[in-house]
Structure 1
Amino acid sequence: MRLHLITVGEPKLAYARAGWDEYEKRLRRYHKVQVTRVTGKTQALESEAVRRAAGRAPLVLLDPRGRQFTSEGLSAYLDAQGVAGVGELAFAIGGPDGHTDELRAGAHLLWGLGQLTLPHDLAMVVLAEALYRASTISAGEPYHRG
């Protein structure tokens, strides 16, 4: 399955850049990965750029109001999408103000990483690591031992 990771901007802090690069590289062992960085001067322009970047792919928005997964649950979700014939999923992290109500309303899924507010850079690393962890669970590999 293709995983399209859409972010507003890119990691700015060194730790986040290193983490993103590492988990994106690892994730490519299991999926075709596309990364799109979008920009916009307003929340509305950012959300429109995310929508355009996702194209026809089901859009999973990272949003604190969204469904929370365990690592095993995320693995099962990805597997179910693959079995259902979904060839691509687009995952999007919004800017400082998040996504517009309109974009959220049209999303395939809202995914909450937890109730904490995370800095943008850290959320990007958590997204990439969570997808990698879920992929290793699906593959029956020992990375996840919890």
Structure 2
Amino acid sequence: MRLHLITVGEPRLAYARLGWAEYEGRLRRYHKVQVTRVSGKTTAAEGAAVLRAAGRAPLTLLDPRGQQWSSEELSAHLGAQALAGHGELAFAVGGPDGHPEELRAQARWLWSLGRLTLPHDLAMVVLLEALYRAATISAGEPYHRG
């Protein structure tokens, strides 16, 4: 399955750039990965850019109002989407001000990484690690020790 990772901007801090590179490389062992970086002068412009980038792929927005998934639930979700015939899934991390309401309304899923507010750079790394962990669960590999 192709995982299309859409971010508003790119990681700025050194730790986040290293974390992104590490987990993107790991994730590529299990999925085809496409990364699109978008920008905009307003959250509405960012939202429109995210929607264009996602195209026809079902879109998941990282959003504090979304559903929280355990690692096992995320793994099962990805597997179910593959079985449903979705060859591509898009995941979007918004800018520091989040996603506009218009984009939320058009997303297939809203996914919350938890009740904590994470810095933008850290949220990008957590997204990749969570997807990698879910892939290793599906593959029956010992990375996850839940």
Poorly superposed stretches of 4+, deviation over 6 Å: none
Which amino acid counterpart does residue 91 of structure 2 have in structure 1?
F
TM-score (norm 1): 0.99
Deviations 1:7-27 (A, max 9, x none): 000000010000000000000
CA RMSD of the aligned region, Å? 0.4
* Structure 1 residue 97: Cα displacement: 1.2
Deviations 1:102-141 (A, max 9, x none): 1101101000000111000000000000000000000000
Separation in structure 2 between the aligned mates of residue 145 and residue 71 of structure 1, nearest angstrom: 10
In the alignment, which residue of structure 2 is the partner of 1:30? 30
In the alignment, which residue of structure 2 is the partner of 1:43? 43
Deviations 1:59-101 (A, max 9, x none): 0000000000000000000000000000000000001111111
Aligned-partner SS, 2:124 = helix
Separation in structure 1 between the aligned mates of residue 96 and residue 83 of structure 2, nearest angstrom: 34
TM-score (norm 2): 0.99
In the alignment, which residue of structure 2 is the partner of 1:52? 52
In the alignment, which residue of structure 2 is the partner of 1:110? 110
Separation in structure 2 between the aligned mates of residue 42 and residue 106 of structure 1, nearest angstrom: 18
Structure 1 residue ranges without an equivalent (≥5): none
Aligned-partner SS, 1:92 = strand
In the alignment, which residue of structure 2 is the partner of 1:67? 67
In the alignment, which residue of structure 1 is the partner of 2:88? 88
What is the identity percentage for the equivalent residue pairs of Structure 1 and Structure 2? Answer: 79
Which amino acid counterpart does residue 53 of structure 1 have in structure 2?
A
Aligned positions, number? 146
1:6 equivalent in alignment to 2:22? no
